Amino acid sequence: MYLTMKSVIITSAFCLSAVISHAQDSVMFRRISDEIMLKGTCYENLRVLCKTVGHRLSGTPAAAKAVTWGEKAMKEAGADNVWLQPVNVPYWYRGKESLELKLNGKYKTVPALSLGNSKGTDGKTLEAPIVMVADFAALEALPDKDVKGKIIFFNYRFRQDFVNSFEGYGDAVAYRWKSPNIAAKRGAAGVIIRSMSTGEDDFPHTGSMHYDDSVVAKLPEMAIGNQSADALEAACKKGTVTARMTSECHMMEKMVPSYNVIGEIKGTEQPERIITVGGHLDSWDVGEGAHDDGAGCVQSIEVIRALKAIGYKPKYTIRAVLFMNEENGNKGGHAYADSAVARKEQHVLAIESDAGGFSPRGIGMEMSDAQKEHIKSYRHLFLPYNIHDFEHEEGGVDISPLYYKHKVPMAGLMPDSQRYFDYHHTANDVFEQVNHRELKLGAVVMTQLIYLVCEHGL
Interaction site with Zn ion (CB under 5 A): 292-293, 354
Q: Which helix (DSSP H) or strand (DSSP E) does residue 372 occupy?
A: helix 369-376
Beta-carbon contacts of 302 under 8 Å, excluding residues fewer than 6 positions away, are 36, 40, 41, 42, 45, 77, 440, 443, 446, 447
Report the alpha-carbon distance of residue 225 to residue 404 in Å, rounded. 35
Tell me the Ramachandran region of residue 114: left when phi exceeds 0, alpha when psi lies from -120 to 50, beta otherwise. Answer: beta
Q: Compute the least distance from the CB of residue 294 to Zn ion, in Å.
A: 10
Report the alpha-carbon distance of residue 153 to residue 219 in Å, rounded. 13
What number of other Cβ atoms are within 10 A of residue 109's Cβ? 10
In the complex with Zn ion, which residue's Cβ is closer, 190 or 289?
Answer: 289
Report the alpha-carbon distance of residue 392 to residue 437 in Å, rounded. 24
Q: Compute the least distance from the CB of residue 171 to Zn ion, in Å.
A: 18
In the complex with Zn ion, which residue's Cβ is closer, 172 or 381?
Answer: 172
In the complex with Zn ion, which residue's Cβ is closer, 354 or 394?
Answer: 354
Partners of 316 in beta bridges: 270
Instruction: Provide the Cα torsion 294, 300, 304, 309; round to 10°.
Output: 70
Report the alpha-carbon distance of residue 413 to residue 295 in Å, rounded. 11
Report the alpha-carbon distance of residue 260 to residue 257 in Å, rounded. 11
Q: Compute the least distance from the CB of residue 267 to Zn ion, in Å.
A: 28
In the complex with Zn ion, which residue's Cβ is closer, 33 or 353?
Answer: 353
Q: Compute the least distance from the CB of residue 292 to Zn ion, in Å.
A: 4
Report the alpha-carbon distance of residue 77 to residue 35 in Å, rounded. 13
Q: Amino acid identity, residue 321? A: V
Q: Which helix (DSSP H) or strand (DSSP E) does residue 366 occupy?
A: strand 360-366
Q: Amino acid identity, residue 344? A: K
**What interhelical angle do 436-456 and 295-309 show, nearest 10?**
60
Q: Compute the least distance from the CB of residue 447 to Zn ion, in Å.
A: 21
In the complex with Zn ion, which residue's Cβ is closer, 26 or 418?
Answer: 418
Q: Compute the least distance from the CB of residue 355 to Zn ion, in Å.
A: 8
Q: What are phi and psi of 92, to 5 degrees?
A: -95, 130
In the complex with Zn ion, which residue's Cβ is closer, 293 or 345?
Answer: 293
Q: Compute the least distance from the CB of residue 233 to Zn ion, in Å.
A: 29
In the complex with Zn ion, which residue's Cβ is closer, 71 or 292?
Answer: 292
In the complex with Zn ion, which residue's Cβ is closer, 345 or 429?
Answer: 429
Q: Compute the least distance from the CB of residue 356 to Zn ion, in Å.
A: 9
In the complex with Zn ion, which residue's Cβ is closer, 190 or 357?
Answer: 357
Q: Compute the least distance from the CB of residue 27 to Zn ion, in Å.
A: 34
In the complex with Zn ion, which residue's Cβ is closer, 292 or 394?
Answer: 292
Q: Compute the least distance from the CB of residue 354 to Zn ion, in Å.
A: 4
Radius of gyration of the chain (CA): 24
Q: Say which DSSP state 385 is in.
A: G
Report the alpha-carbon distance of residue 4 to residue 429 in Å, rounded. 64
Q: Compute the least distance from the CB of residue 413 to Zn ion, in Å.
A: 12
In the complex with Zn ion, which residue's Cβ is closer, 281 or 303?
Answer: 281
DSSP string covering 306-327 = HHHHTT---SEEEEEEEES-TT
Report the alpha-carbon distance of residue 190 to residue 174 in Å, rounded. 16
**DSSP helix/strand/coil, 116:** strand
